[in-house]
Amino acid sequence: MSVSTFAAVFVALYVAHGLGDHWVQTSHQAAAKGQPGWAGRLADARHVTTLTVTKLIVLLPVAAVLGLHLSALGLTLGLGVDAVSHWWADRRSTLAWLARIAGQAEFYSLGTPAHPAHPVTAEGRPAVHLGTGAYALDQSFHHLWLLVAALITAAV
């Protein structure tokens, strides 16, 4: 595995992750993927499917233009590990559990009415804002697995 192959794969996956997680994911998938039961599991599976396809659509032209030699097995394993980890985290209760056992429960609730220092308007109602602790932990978890996926994709 070359360092440049790993770097190119990681950058492509990172960019594709942002597109797939924010532009390609539907509002229904975003709202439903954390629900209990099959409705939530299926919404999450649909999201992860479109996310993984987005990653493949971005990665393959990058590999072709840069002359990267990626194996079908490496792509399958790397994207598979990424997809499974993404599905797991996006069920929401799983990531909330991980935050609790890692001592990050208060940060997880940051930016929500559940947090003791939640933002409020002058009238005392919850204020609209960008980002929460849950979102920051979600994205950093995904970034870790993008790194693992890039290593696997580039090395196999």
| Angle between helix 93-101 and 133-155 (nearest 10) | 100
Q: Which two tokens stand for residue 126?
A: 């919850």
More confident residue, 146 or 131: 146
**Domain carrying residue 90:** 3-155
Write down the pTM of the prediction: 0.89
pLDDT tens digits, residue range 77-132? 999 999 999 999 999 999 999 999 999 998 898 877 777 767 777 887 777 666 88
**Which 8-state DSSP code applies to residue 1?**
-
pLDDT tens digits, residue range 26-64? 999 999 999 999 999 999 999 999 999 999 999 999 999
The H or E element spanning position 45 is helix 37-66
pLDDT tens digits, residue range 2-32? 999 999 999 999 999 999 999 999 999 999 9
So what's the pLDDT on residue 123?
85
So what's the pLDDT on residue 122?
81
Count up the domains in the chain and report the number.
1
Reduced to 3 states (helix: H, G, I; strand: E, B; else coil), residue 16 is helix
